[in-house]
C-alpha cells in the first residue's frame, strides 16, 4: 500500500493571501540542534551498534530465511532528522487546508519534489497546473509552490483573477528578500546553485540583471563585464551543499576581496547533512538508504555524501522501491531522508528494511545492482 503523509492535518493557518502581503517567517530552533550535533562527539547510533555477542542489538531484528547465517542480527539505524522540513510541511498544510475548506486547489508547478506526495495530494483534490489556458471557476484557487516564484510570474498569476495563495518556503522568501534589497542598492549578486532548479529560477527573477548564478569557481572566470558590479554579495540556494559553498566563498574572496558572503543554506539542510556526516564518521555501516524524490536536490546531495564516504548507497523514493528487491548481506544499514519525504514513508521503509534483509551467504553480491546508477 502506498504510503502518504499523515491524514490528520493542522487547522487551516492564516492562508497568506498574496493580496494581504503576509509573510509567515517560521522560527529556526533547528540551528540550536545543528550546534548540538556538531559539538557532540558521539551519536545514539554509535551506542546502539556496539557489539553485543550474546544478545541482539537494540531496535534490530533477525531476518527470516537467513540460511547458513541464521541468527545474524540486521540493524537499521534511522537518522533522527527525518521527515518533512518546516517549509514543506507548511506548504502541504496550506494545500490540504484549502482543499478541506472546499477550494479546488491548483499548484503552480509541482508543490514539492516528491512523486509520492504529489500523488497523495492529487487524491485529495490538489492538482498540479501546467500553465495551460483554462476557465477558472468560483471555487478555484492557485497555490504557489514551496520553491517560490519571481515577481513577473506572481503578477501573471494575479491577473488570472482567481485567489492566489503563497506556499513559498519562508527560508526561500528570506533569500528573495535579500536579493531584492541587494538589487535596490545596485549590488552585484552571485547566487550559488543550480540554474535549472525551480528555486534558483525564481530567485534569479528577483535579481534580474544584477544577479548571476555560479556553480563553482570556474564560473568566476566567466563573469566578464559583470565584474564592474563589485563589490559582490554571494548567497546560496537553500538546499545547496555547505562545503562547496564555503569553497566557492574562499575563492571569491581571493579574487575579489571586497566581496561579502551570506550563507543562506537553510537550517534543515544543514542539520540533516551534519547528522549524516557525524554517523558516517563514527559508526561502522555496510550500506546507506536515502529516501526522497529522485529529482530532489537535498536528497541527491545526501546520497552523494554517503557514496563519497565509500559506502554502498541506494536512493529510493519510498518503501515500494525496497519491497521487490532481493535481500543482501549488509549487517548495519543507515536510513536517512530528504526534506520532502513524509515521516510515514520513512516508517514504512524502515519496516521494509527490517522485514526483508537476509544474508545470501559469505561473499554474496549486493541485491541492488541499480543503486550506483541512480542520481
Q: Tell me, yes or no, whether 274 and 369 share the same domain.
A: yes
Q: Tell me, yes or no, whether 176 and 253 share the same domain.
A: yes
Q: Which of 130, 148, 168 is the endpoint of a domain?
A: 168
**DSSP of 21-68:** T---PPP-THHHHHHHHHH-S--HHHHHTS--TTSPPTT-BPPS--GG
Q: Is 9 helix (H, G, I), strand (E, B) or coil?
A: coil
In terms of Cα–Cα distance, which of 71, 73, 68 is closest to 362? 68
Assigned domain for 24 exists = no
Q: Which of 143, 168, 193 is the endpoint of a domain?
A: 168
Assigned domain for 17 exists = no
Q: Tell me, yes or no, whether 237 and 158 share the same domain.
A: no
Give the residue numbers spanning the domain of 206: 171-265
Give me the pLDDT at residue 372, please.
29
* pTM check: above 0.85: no
pLDDT in tens, 20-58: 222 233 333 444 444 454 454 333 333 333 332 222 222
If one counts the domains in the chain, the total is: 3
Q: Which of 248, 265, 282 is the endpoint of a domain?
A: 265
Q: With both helix axes pointing from N to C terminus, report the angle between 267-282 and 30-39 in degrees, rounded to the nearest 10.
A: 20
Give me the pLDDT at residue 66, please.
23
Q: What CATH number does the domain containing 229 carry?
A: 3.40.1010.20
Q: Tell me, yes or no, whether 238 and 275 share the same domain.
A: no
Q: Where are the beta strands (DSSP E) in 239-331?
A: 260-261, 287-291, 312-316
Give me the pLDDT at residue 84, please.
95
pLDDT in tens, 68-113: 332 233 688 999 999 999 999 999 999 999 999 999 999 999 999 9
Q: Tell me, yes or no, whether 283 and 364 share the same domain.
A: yes
Q: How many CA within 13 A on the CB side of residue 66?
A: 17
Give me the pLDDT at residue 117, please.
94
Give me the pLDDT at residue 320, please.
83
Q: What CATH number does the domain containing 157 carry?
A: 3.40.50.11270
Residues of the chain below pLDDT 70: 1-74, 323-330, 356-375
Give me the pLDDT at residue 325, please.
53
Q: Which residues are catalytic?
A: 199
Q: Tell me, yes or no, whether 57 and 105 share the same domain.
A: no
Amino acid at each position: 500500500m502506498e504510503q502518504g503523509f499523515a491524514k490528520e492535518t493542522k487547522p487551516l493557518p492564516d492562508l497568506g493571501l498574496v493580496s494581504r502581503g503576509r509573510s509567515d517567517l517560521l522560527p529556526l530552533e533547528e540551528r540550536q540542534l545543528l550546534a548540538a550535533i556538531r559539538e557532540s562527539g558521539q551519536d545514539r547510533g554509535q551506542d546502539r551498534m556496539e557489539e553485543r555477542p550474546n544478545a541482539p542489538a537494540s531496535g534490530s531484528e533477525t531476518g527470516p530465511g537467513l540460511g547458513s547465517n541464521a541468527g545474524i542480527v540486521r540493524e537499521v539505524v534511522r537518522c533522527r532528522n527525518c521527515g518533512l522540513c518546516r517549509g514543506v510541511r507548511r506548504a502541504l498544510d496550506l494545500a490540504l487546508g484549502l482543499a478541506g475548506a472546499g477550494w479546488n486547489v491548483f499548484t503552480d508547478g509541482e508543490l514539492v519534489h516528491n512523486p509520492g506526495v504529489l500523488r497523495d495530494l492529487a487524491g485529495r483534490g490538489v492538482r498540479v497546473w501546467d500553465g495551460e489556458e483554462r476557465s477558472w471557476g468560483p471555487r478555484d484557487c492557485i497555490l504557489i509552490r514551496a520553491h517560490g516564484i519571481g515577481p513577473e510570474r506572481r503578477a501573471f498569476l494575479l491577473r488570472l483573477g482567481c485567489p492566489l495563495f503563497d506556499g513559498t518556503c519562508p527560508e526561500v522568501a528570506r533569500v528573495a528578500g535579500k536579493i531584492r534589497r541587494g538589487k535596490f542598492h545596485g549590488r552585484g549578486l552571485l547566487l550559488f546553485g543550480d540554474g535549472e532548479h525551480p528555486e534558483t529560477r525564481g530567485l534569479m527573477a528577483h535579481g534580474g540583471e544584477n544577479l548571476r548564478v555560479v556553480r563553482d569557481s570556474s564560473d568566476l572566470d566567466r563573469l566578464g563585464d559583470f565584474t564592474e558590479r563589485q563589490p559582490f554579495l554571494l548567497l546560496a540556494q537553500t538546499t545547496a551543499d555547505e562545503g562547496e559553498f564555503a569553497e566557492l566563498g574562499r575563492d571569491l574572496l581571493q579574487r575579489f576581496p571586497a566581496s561579502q558572503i551570506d550563507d543562506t543554506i537553510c537550517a534543515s539542510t544543514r542539520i540533516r547533512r551534519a547528522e549524516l556526516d557525524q554517523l558516517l564518521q563514527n559508526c561502522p555501516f555496510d550500506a546507506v538508504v536515502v529516501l526522497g524524490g529522485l529529482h530532489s536536490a537535498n536528497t541527491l546531495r545526501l546520497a552523494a555524501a554517503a557514496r563519497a564516504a565509500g559506502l554502498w548507497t541506494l536512493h529510493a523514493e519510498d518503501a515500494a522501491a525496497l519491497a521487490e528487491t532481493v535481500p543482501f548481506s549488509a549487517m548495519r544499514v543507515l536510513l536517512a531522508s530528504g526534506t520532502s519525504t513524509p515521516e510515514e514513508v520513512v516508517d514504512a521503509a524502515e519496516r521494509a528494511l527490517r522485514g526483508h534483509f537476509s544474508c545470501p551467504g559469505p561473499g554474496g553480491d549486493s541485491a541492488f545492482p541499480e543503486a550506483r546508477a541512480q542520481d
